[in-house]
Amino acid sequence: MFLTYVGIYDSVEDAKADYEAVHDLHVKAGLIDAYDAAVIERKENGKVKIVKKHETPTRVGGVGGGTLGLATGLVIALFPAAAIGGERVGMRLSPHGVNAGMTPYAEIDETYRALVPRLAAAGIQYLHLVDHSAMGAPEVPEALKRELRSAWPRTFVLAGGFDRAGVEAALREGRADLVALGRPFLANPDLVTRLERGMPLNPPDFATFYTPGPAGYTDYPKAA
């Protein structure tokens, strides 16, 4: 069974007591196989602090309304929404992503079909869907992208492998409200000017991705 619980407490101590109770159900009673939980405090000055957090490091789980893989995204999304209001929270999803050793599993599409309406119900402001196939991951099926776009009631952002023509086509065809650019932005300090004027773009240098130091981050040339 998959269960989501979001509580709003008057005191941090009460929230911690429930957090510990869930922990006991897992460790002592063995009634929960895996869980994600967080206690988030909103301070007097409006700042938000994560007091406690637990994530089960797995994407493998049962199916039927939700999977444990689903829990990881869902609970983390919902707790900030409960603490600071869904209108202040955006969510980025990378279905079929293989970053950090994640492996494909059979229920990927089903997971995201189940997750997106729940995120919508939590009032989350925008959904940002990235297709990492341009970075070597398996492609996100076009049908899934369109389905999630239709299921989302507010701003929908697409990303992954777009150039100017691709952005314009996606917007014209209503596949997204906004399109985000990653590597073109990294490689072109004057990206907006170049796009406005239809100028060629610097290609990104893959060798400097995820490396320390300024090389590949602040040394790409501006167009003359």
CB hemisphere CA count around 37 (13 angstroms): 20
Total of residues contacting ligand FMN (CB under 6 A): 15
C-beta nearest to ligand FMN: residue? 182
Q: Does 211 bind ligand FMN (CB under 6 A)?
A: no
- Helices of type H across the chain: 12-27, 68-84, 108-121, 142-151, 164-172, 183-187, 191-197
Q: Does 138 bind ligand FMN (CB under 6 A)?
A: no
Q: Which is nearer to ligand FMN, 116 or 137 (CB)?
A: 137
For the range 52-60, what are the long-range contacts, defined as Cβ-Cβ under 8 Å and sequence gap of 24 or more? Answer: 52/16, 52/19, 54/19, 54/23, 58/34, 59/102, 59/103, 59/105, 60/105
Stretch 3-22: interaction string toward ligand FMN, x if CB under 6 A: --------------------
Stretch 82-121: interaction string toward ligand FMN, x if CB under 6 A: ----------x-----------------------------
Q: Does 210 bind ligand FMN (CB under 6 A)?
A: yes
Rounded CA-CA distance 74/69 in Å is 9
Q: Does 191 bind ligand FMN (CB under 6 A)?
A: no
Q: Which residue, 156, 157, 158, 179, is CA-closest to 168?
A: 179
Residue carrying the six token digits 């980025």: 92
Q: Which is nearer to ligand FMN, 81 or 157 (CB)?
A: 157
3-state secondary structure of 195: helix
Taking contact as CB under 6 A, which single stretch among the options 81-89, 107-115, 147-155, 158-166 is the one that binds ligand FMN?
158-166
Among 90, 138, 182, 189, binds ligand FMN (CB under 6 A): 182
Dihedrals φ, ψ of 115, to 5°?
-70, -45
Q: Does 160 bind ligand FMN (CB under 6 A)?
A: yes
Residue carrying the six token digits 């869980």: 35
Taking contact as CB under 6 A, which single stretch among the options 33-41, 52-60, 160-168, 194-202 is the one that binds ligand FMN?
160-168
In eight-state DSSP terms, residue 129 is E
Q: Which is nearer to ligand FMN, 141 or 161 (CB)?
A: 161
Footprint of ligand FMN (CB under 6 A): 92, 130, 134-135, 159-162, 181-184, 186, 209-210
